[in-house]
Amino acid sequence: TQLLEQSPQFLSIQEGENLTVYCNSSSVFSSLQWYRQEPGEGPVLLVTVVTGGEVKKLKRLTFQFGDARKDSSLHITAAQPGDTGLYLCAGANYGGSQGNLIFGKGTKLSVKP
């Protein structure tokens, strides 16, 4: 069974701090996606990474896909209260059903003003 482990599970920081969230697996994924989910809403896609070693930036968010396509990280610079939410990583696997995703449990981020 493929699993995606996210860490930390919870993170509470002050506005302006930097943080990194990790998503790790022993399995190789063809692509990996990051979502942010706010309370009472569905996950919103932030980015998809496809190539091993790929780095993508979305304003203050930097996403990296591991060289071996087994892990990924999300780094937020100068966090803002608006960054608060549940961050989910999801991997698309080579061997499974096309288009189906494996989700991590998520990292719940709270940014205090």
Binding site for other proteins (CB under 8 A): 4, 30-31, 33, 35, 40-45, 48, 88, 90, 92, 97, 99-101, 103-106
Closer residue to other proteins in complex, CB, 79/88: 88
Pairing of strands 101-103, 85-93: antiparallel
Task: Note the Cα 107 to chain centre separation in Å.
Answer: 8
Q: How far is the CB of 48 from other proteins (least distance, A)?
A: 6
Nearest by Cα to 62 from 20, 104, 1, 111: 20
Element (H, E) at 19: strand 19-24
Closer residue to other proteins in complex, CB, 18/110: 110
Closer residue to other proteins in complex, CB, 73/96: 96
Closer residue to other proteins in complex, CB, 35/79: 35
Q: How far is the CB of 45 from other proteins (least distance, A)?
A: 6
Q: Which residues contact 97 (CB under 8 A, 6 or more apart)?
A: none
